[in-house]
Every structure is written in structure tokens, then in C-alpha cells.
Chain A
């Protein structure tokens, strides 16, 4: 257990629907990152939050949004889902340590 919790582990939904992925960071970590990994490709950075504020944005679609709550957990909202959104979505947290990020085990999203 890395200390970063992602729920749900698996999600199957239809095109056009909306889903919410949840992430609880490791205790004490203020930064939360969201990454997408499609078809065994690299890690595509989506967005970073630090202590409730958006800090950096990557290749995140306008249909996607995220937020970090006062208790530091984060949610990634994906709407108007398309088949191409099927991927593994990873959350990571960081305390700016020598070990970098701690990743959760991911949510596998399948859009049918």
C-alpha cells in the first residue's frame, strides 16, 4: 500500500456519460497530480493541485476538470465521455521529497 488511495479501481461506462474519480493523497502530502496512461503509452500529465489550488495544467481536455478539497482529497471529473477516454488514470501525491511522487494503483476506465 503506497498510501495514495484511488477509487474506484475499475469503471465501465457508456459514451456521453460523466464519471468522477477520487484520490486520497498520502498523509501530509499537499500536492496531488493526475496522469492518464492510454494503451500502455507513457504517463500523460493532466493537472496538479497544491493545498487546494490549481498549480499546473498539462494536456487536460476541456471535458475534464479536477479539484482538491480542504481535506486534500482530489476528484477528477470526466464528462461527455468518448471511446478514446478509455485509459488508466493515476493519481500521485508529493511532499517534495527525494523519492518524488507516490502513485496510487490507478482507476481503469473503460468507455463502451
Chain B
């Protein structure tokens, strides 16, 4: 049972436009969510996170939105840059325990000029 789902395996966006990556979860006990970015042949790196007490968290060009009622979160990248081309994983945890993360399957973002 996939508790964290990223239903779009890939996304292609023009440079300068907005990229929106989506993530759905099924476990209502999840209360902390993270996004990781992964370049080829490198390990994933932490990008941004949000706790369930918020519905939005912003860090520069990256904003994560959380809709608890829909069990849905999204990562917005504005404006998108070619260097953002990577695989993005969302992850979730219960009781703010980041010692046990459940990862989604990832979305490959390609930003073209």
C-alpha cells in the first residue's frame, strides 16, 4: 500500500514558468512533510518542509502548500530554471518523527529553455 503517492512520473516546464509538483497521501496521521531533490548519480537532498499546523511554507522560489482535508500537498517553483531539472520526492512522517519517513515514487522535472 503506497501511503505517499506522486501520480505524475514526469513534468516538463519552460524556463521562467511555474512548476507544480503534486503529492497525495492516505495516512491521516501524517503531520510533517518534506520535499527532496535528486540529481542523477547523487543522493537526494532536503529542499523544503511543512508541518500540519501550517498550510504554506515558502523559501525563495520554492513554496509548499498543504491541504489537509484533501490529503494533498504541492511544491511550486517560480520561476523555474534549467538547474531545477531533477527528480523530486515528497516524504511524510507521523508525530513529527522524521526518524521514519515514507517516500513517494518521485516526479522527474525537466525545465527547458
Which residues of A line the B interface, CB within 8 A?
A: 2, 4, 31, 40-43, 45, 48, 50, 56, 88, 90, 92, 94, 96-106, 108
Contacts and interface: CB of A to CB of B under 8 A. Distances in A.
B49 A43 contact: no
Contacts of A42: 89, 103-106
B71 interface: no
A50 B85 CA distance: 34
Task: Give the 3 A-B CB pairs with smallest separation, nearest first.
Answer: A103-B43, A42-B105, A96-B99
Nearest to B39: A105
Given A103-B44, A106-B41, A108-B41, A96 B97 contact: yes
B99 A94 contact: yes
Interface residues of B, number: 23
B43 A100 contact: no
B112 interface: no
B34 interface: yes
Contacts of A104: 43
